[in-house]
Amino acid sequence: MSRFLKVFLREPIGTGIQLAAFGKHPAWDDHLDDIGLSTESLALTKQLLYSEGIATQLASGAWDQLERSGQAIEFDHRFVWGRDHQTIVGAIWASADRKRRTRFPLIICAQADLDSPPASALLLDYLAELGSLCRSAKTQEELLSAFGRAQSELSRATLPSNVGNLFSEITDLEENSVLPSLVTLSASLKSKLPRGSLETTKASGSRFRLLGISSQTKDNLSFWSAYLATQCAGPSLPYLVIAAGRRRWIDLIVGEPRPNDFFCLRANENALPPSRAEIEEAQARKLESEAKDYLGTYKSRPADARPPRRSWWSGLFSK
């Protein structure tokens, strides 16, 4: 078994939240000094997503070709990387270094001892605000100060045990359009997920591009991470859900990512169309029935009161 499958999102991190940042920022001459890579999972996130994934796409010229063909999108992504009851939530923004080189992005992420849907619901907005502070910082000291205050607050935070019903807030649920995506993903996972022990599983992952369930990034991340959590719990496989800003698709990676899996970050719908699966009619009907049952369960969960938005991170952004 690879090191990634053995340790990723499996180390104890306590009750707080661990923040990390890496990539490019105008206050640094080149890549910024790693900030907060205090767990092996966060270090692996940088290695797989940035040092191998993004760097490989740039070195190969794959994204340069997308730009020449007019099929490239900019970095403006949110992601949820879950496994069992731990999650890394992150954001990717277009950025540059002091020499105005713009090929690499800025990435900020947070590791929490929470299931992926509540983790994304709690952390996405805060990461956006922290990212805004960091991106507007003119000096290294300003960025490190903002980041240090955030980590200090989160190290002492007591996470709410109930974040309410994440599903009842989806007001533009496109059930008919999402059914084929659920069927495609379910069929593909049934054929690719390991049937035996994880120790015998090869490290290669599976990548999918599917239609989103909503026009809202947070809804898409919550819905698809919740579904993958149910599908990947048996073999205890990590799953990564990536949503590009203002786009109607999501990208999923199950298992250990390969560098080329991150081609999706800058590919539009013409360069990388939605995934399809060849499914026999009888199996398709069965999977569609299961998908409808899942959607029914998803929509019918009772709504609970959500906690006040700043009840556990009150003073950070007013300083």
Q: Are residues 26 and 106 in the same domain?
A: yes
Beta bridge partners of 122: none
Q: Are residues 186 and 97 in the same domain?
A: no
Q: Give residue 95's Cα distance to chain centre.
A: 19
- Examine residue 310 and state whether it is found in any structural domain, yes or no: no
- Examine residue 123 and state whether it is found in any structural domain, yes or no: yes
Q: Among 120, 138, 165, where does a domain finish?
A: 165
pLDDT for position 318: 53
pLDDT for position 198: 52
- Left, alpha or beta for 84 (phi > 0: left; psi -120 to 50: alpha)? left
| % of the chain residues with pLDDT over 90 | 59
pLDDT for position 138: 96
pLDDT for position 12: 86
Decide which of 66 and 156 is more confident.
66
Q: Are residues 127 and 187 in the same domain?
A: no
Strand order across the 249-254 sheet:
17-23, 105-112, 86-94, 76-83, 239-244, 249-254, 206-211
- Examine residue 308 and state whether it is found in any structural domain, yes or no: no
Q: Among 165, 200, 223, where does a domain finish?
A: 165
- List the CATH number of the domain containing 57: 3.30.450
- Examine residue 231 and state whether it is found in any structural domain, yes or no: yes
Contact 78, 217 (CB under 8 A): yes
pLDDT for position 191: 75
For residue 38, what pLDDT band results from cuts at 50, 70 and 90?
very high
- Left, alpha or beta for 163 (phi > 0: left; psi -120 to 50: alpha)? alpha
* Strand, helix or coil for residue 267: strand
Residue 69 pLDDT greater than 90, yes or no? yes
Q: Are residues 30 and 154 in the same domain?
A: yes
Contact 96, 26 (CB under 8 A): yes
pLDDT for position 216: 83
Q: Among 165, 186, 219, where does a domain finish?
A: 165
pLDDT digits 0-9 by tens, 268-280:
999 999 998 889 9
Q: Are residues 241 and 96 in the same domain?
A: no
Residue 288 pLDDT greater than 80, yes or no? yes
CA distances from 1 to 8, 108, 255 (A): 12, 28, 12
Decide which of 258 and 294 is more confident.
258
pLDDT for position 306: 41
Q: Are residues 84 and 217 in the same domain?
A: no
Report the length, in residues, of the chain: 319
Q: Are residues 158 and 46 in the same domain?
A: yes
Q: Are residues 102 and 196 in the same domain?
A: no
Query: Distance between CA 124 and CA 78 in Å, rounded?
Result: 8
Residue 200 pLDDT greater than 80, yes or no? no
Q: Are residues 227 and 141 in the same domain?
A: no
Q: Are residues 137 and 12 in the same domain?
A: yes
pLDDT for position 160: 60
Q: Are residues 156 and 182 in the same domain?
A: no
For residue 248, what pLDDT band results from cuts at 50, 70 and 90?
confident
Q: Which residues contact 316 (CB under 8 A, 6 or more apart)?
A: 129, 130, 149, 150, 153
Q: Are residues 154 and 190 in the same domain?
A: no
Q: What is the mean pLDDT of the chain?
A: 86
- Examine residue 151 and state whether it is found in any structural domain, yes or no: yes
For residue 164, what pLDDT band results from cuts at 50, 70 and 90?
low
Q: How many domains does the chain have?
A: 2
**Where in the sequence is the domain holding 187, given as residue range(s)?**
175-300
Beta strands in the chain (DSSP E): 17-23, 76-83, 86-94, 105-112, 206-211, 239-244, 249-254
